[in-house]
Structure 1
């Protein structure tokens, strides 16, 4: 058995977002008539040119060399085969990457702002036991010589084929092979190849495995580049401006959705649509492209086929509308047509009526199944104020989300999917579509619970409920749109985490605590969130915190301080006392908030299964660092501790420790937590704290820490928080 030839063809397709549209200098005047418009046997039409004065701008500049025309696009000189102004496409010779025993070549290609890679292209790789795999493009191929055939690469025998993603502007392609292959296999397949070509421009041959370059030297393997003018689309560009190229009988292609705009000659005209007055009328009668049965008369952009004997109508091969001599035939035709139209209208009216009735019945059914009756009963029992949110119709939400287009998805959670939507007046909202309801009605209760709870909350740090829709199989909630994502994303994204310094983190903690305090003690019936975590804290463009996702929340009657529920929460954030007893209290949110404080301080994920078992939960490591006086070794390195007040770090850390007590009655209330954070974050907090009695900074901070730790028990009459503070101060980096 031969050792397999291991060949890896990798195509890294780099997706570029369309850059922000910026103003650009006006293009040069139309090219002079004396411009050279060919290189060898290749035509070079405007907007391309062999000199800058003959091209639209420098990105369309073509060089004419002995081997033919070329255009320079960043890393590669591209050999041009054809330029088509009707389709705005540039056809170029394919770039081939290869790997042989004594040589290799990797191709990097990137367009400039006027070009993109056509979706008509395909990725091909030629070789044995080939595997190409990226986030966007992959293909696999093996070599079974007994069954190998010439032709398509879709079977993956000897070569493989894959589509390229839409809208890309560059790629990197390379191949490499393993060592230790036997001579027999090397003789059959000495090199591996990878290339991008237009679909249909490459046909596999078994001889390619042995000598690809030799057999394909004269083969027209080409690929396509799309091009457009400027940055503005047809809808954005000033079409009355002198700089706009689609003039005369040329029109702007509205269907083109990429960056810039394209021109084409209007129907019935031909020429270069990018040159003024260059689209000339086609004489269909002369060239023979008409479909007249008799005489043909040319007209601007069209033609006519007059009826014999001067009768009105058109005498065409496909449709003959010439008037007949017999009047009764016309009357019969008109009568039949009128009767047919009447029957069509009648059946249409009946069909629309039945469909509308069926739709109303279905909407009423969904309203009941989605908890509409349950919501009405909650309101009627005076469990809360009248809901002010708007009830949206199905059509309103479909229009807002472009029929729930997948590109509008901005998040997925345990209870549903969140879409970005646009209401009339360009108001941006977040639309949460719940998952399909189960037989036990658990998700119905979660959904109605969230509507009912959010309707009672009016706080700047709680996401605002705008409305809901119960008329579809999957119910939906409509919130205000919070543009900056979740706190979790900002803490654990390498780039975003650098933007949230200590002041921002402290403010986020203070605002979140204030929102939870409002839920616990600022509403008529206390609300326990039950799923406090960084993924449920959203940030607006100014990094203002917004507490979200109340699907698991519960109302606590005024005469109770706890509620027996099925345990629910997120691993790492879940209150251990609630987990063991099933008794939900306000202190359960306090514990979860303490975990959030740890996450803000350390910048690490609360549970990380990639670490050793004793290091998986960061809360344990954090509490251990307080006991071992090594707090500053576990803090987030991106906090730049030399610029952060030491006393604020330690006060927040000790507050987190108080929140993380295993016993709920030993934790502070959210109101106390919010007040403490406000004191910590307030300007000149040292001077304002009532425990300050000394001018020494260390003494002042020690007093602050003593004041913040009043709920802790002393051991042998010693203030443990003070001791910990002095030890941690001594371990600070110099």
Structure 2
């Protein structure tokens, strides 16, 4: 780019003025940053060939002038400069000029990749991008001086030799690009730095010490609480009894073991929730599966004191239809119980699940009822001391893969005391299963379990839930609905259709009559669980004999049932199931 300038005036007489460079005798123009070259020409002003020089016009005279590139702020025009060498003389032929240049039109990053054309040749040089974003410059790095555009052009500066004053006389050691003063005394502010650092370190140490002390005290406090809970729940007595009775298989678990086994009691491991606590599935380190019950609370201080003893008694229960208590954790405020794991759910889920009672034969239902009754009879009559379950319901009866029943959840259980006055307790249990007499007197007895079992028997017979809030008011309670049907002699109306078609009506009526006896309002009129189990056992045997009577000859039946009259055998061979049931029942009664 070129700029063409001329110095002309509006009259025939020059009016150049000191301090003004406005075209009369002097003109100037600023050079732009995007100029690629600079050229100066002196041309005639017009066709008259008049040239102005020294303030007068002369025809044909040569015009004399000169031009210079220099820093604008360093020039001040004077009329004395016209047609003289004064400006040259004053500056001795040299004028100040600012050169702002760069290498190429690329950035440092792009240029450094082109080894052949990269201008920063010295090993101790650095590249700097131009301020306007076009091109780059090279400088020596700190501690070096020279020409960065030449190989080895940047040389180390000897700070120990050139610095005035020298950094540390007698001790200064020059280093490439730097220097060191190994014996140099710390500057005056180093004492403050050391003080600040020292105070900061001291504060950190104090904070850490306080934190560690707090954690140790909290851990000790927690250990004391765990020890107190352990003793309060009868842990020492339990340990003593366990040591005396080797081989019980009962263990005292640490809280940390159970937390790890349940993945910190994760919701994904919840097996069920109840009024007395939540049951979790757990896996011990040896891979064995367990069920862990976290109880809600202990009933009273007396129960806390007796807890260890009661746990030992429960651990000694050995019945195939009662869930095995493997151990407990006593170092928590409310003890946790550890049971064997039964994988196939509850009787409630079996009856009322998505598939309901569909395709569950009466024989299976009767077998479940029999095993549940035998388990409760064992608790009432054979455990020492007797144990009252207190919360018999279908969700507390577990089933294995063979539909074998296992009674579980002893959260509401109590040991039956010898003194009847101690039977007083808070009302507990589940709506629909509660003994009406217990609700009035708060006396929990073995007959309370009998009533609750009667409701479970009804669930097996009818396939209905014990209590239905959504039904009509007079049909919400399954037991009241059943008793009304019995009173009106229409019990078959409430029996599950699935078992009415493939079961003997007489047997169904016998089981219904047994359920009615269990649901007597007065507890003394109810049978004992031993009587209930015995009656269900007899009915189960009768049902087994009724399965294939047509295929059995009289001699086989006589061998099976013992001596009987010829008339009885004839009735069996005819397939008269109702009559046959009475005969077999009579024979079984006679065996008793």
Q: Same fold, TM exceeding 0.5?
A: yes
2:517 is the counterpart of 1:658 = yes
Residue 522 of structure 1 aligns with which residue?
382
TM superposition shift of 1:566: 3.5
- 2: CA distance between counterparts of 1:410 and 1:670? 28
- 2: CA distance between counterparts of 1:709 and 1:666? 21
2:563 is the counterpart of 1:563 = no
- 2: CA distance between counterparts of 1:354 and 1:432? 32
Larger Rg: 2
Residue 553 of structure 1 aligns with which residue?
413
Residue 641 of structure 1 aligns with which residue?
500
- 2: CA distance between counterparts of 1:328 and 1:407? 69
* Equivalent of residue 467 in structure 1, options 327, 334, 338: 327
Provide Cα deviations, 1:437-477, integer angstroms capped at 9, x if missing partner: 69x65985797687355223122211122222233345322
RMSD, aligned α-carbons: 4.5
Provide Cα deviations, 1:584-604, integer angstroms capped at 9, x if missing partner: 322221121111101110011
TM superposition shift of 1:413: 1.2
- 2: CA distance between counterparts of 1:546 and 1:328? 87
- 1: CA distance between counterparts of 2:422 and 2:297? 31
Structure with the larger strand share: 1
* Equivalent of residue 475 in structure 2, options 597, 615, 638: 615
Report the 3-state secondary structure (helix = DSSP H, G, I; strand = E; otherwise coil) of the residue aligned with 2:357. helix
2:488 is the counterpart of 1:488 = no
2:539 is the counterpart of 1:680 = yes
Query: What are the equivalent positions in structure 2 for 1:429-444 lying under 5 Å apart?
Result: 429-435=290-296, 441=301, 444=304
Report the 3-state secondary structure (helix = DSSP H, G, I; strand = E; otherwise coil) of the residue aligned with 1:605. coil
Query: What are the equivalent positions in structure 2 for 1:577-596 lying under 5 Å apart?
Result: 577-596=437-456
2:357 is the counterpart of 1:477 = no
Is contact 1:367-1:471 (8 Å) kept? yes
Is contact 2:434-2:451 (8 Å) kept? yes
Provide Cα deviations, 1:143-163, integer angstroms capped at 9, x if missing partner: xxxxxxxxxxxxxxxxxxxxx
Residue 392 of structure 1 aligns with which residue?
253
Is contact 1:676-1:708 (8 Å) kept? no
Residue 401 of structure 1 aligns with which residue?
262
Instruction: Give structure 1 stretches of 5+ with no counterpart.
Output: 1-284, 289-293, 296-307, 310-323, 711-734
Residue 78 of structure 1 aligns with which residue?
none
- 2: CA distance between counterparts of 1:494 and 1:558? 45
Residues 443 and 494 of structure 1: is their aligned pair in 2 closer, same or farther, counting only changes over 3 Å?
farther
- 1: CA distance between counterparts of 2:365 and 2:278? 28
- 2: CA distance between counterparts of 1:608 and 1:691? 49
Residue 581 of structure 2 aligns with which residue?
701
Is contact 2:233-2:308 (8 Å) kept? no
Is contact 1:691-1:703 (8 Å) kept? no
Is contact 1:447-1:551 (8 Å) kept? no
Provide Cα deviations, 1:52-90, integer angstroms capped at 9, x if missing partner: xxxxxxxxxxxxxxxxxxxxxxxxxxxxxxxxxxxxxxx
Residues 662 and 557 of structure 1: is their aligned pair in 2 closer, same or farther, counting only changes over 3 Å?
same
Is contact 1:528-1:554 (8 Å) kept? yes
Provide Cα deviations, 1:321-361, integer angstroms capped at 9, x if missing partner: xxx988899xx9xxxx9xx9999999879865763553243
Residue 414 of structure 1 aligns with which residue?
275
Q: Provide the aligned length of Structure 1 versus Structure 2.
A: 390
Is contact 2:396-2:407 (8 Å) kept? yes
Structure with the larger helix share: 2
- 1: CA distance between counterparts of 2:582 and 2:513? 12
- 2: CA distance between counterparts of 1:583 and 1:537? 24
Residue 539 of structure 1 aligns with which residue?
399
Is contact 2:234-2:309 (8 Å) kept? no
Provide Cα deviations, 1:240-285, integer angstroms capped at 9, x if missing partner: xxxxxxxxxxxxxxxxxxxxxxxxxxxxxxxxxxxxxxxxxxxxx9
- Normalised to the residue count of structure 2, the TM-score between the two structures is 0.55
Instruction: Give structure 2 stretches of 5+ with no counterpart.
Output: 1-108, 113-125, 128-141, 144-178, 185-189, 191-196, 547-556, 572-576
Is contact 1:622-1:634 (8 Å) kept? yes
- 1: CA distance between counterparts of 2:183 and 2:588? 103
2:385 is the counterpart of 1:505 = no
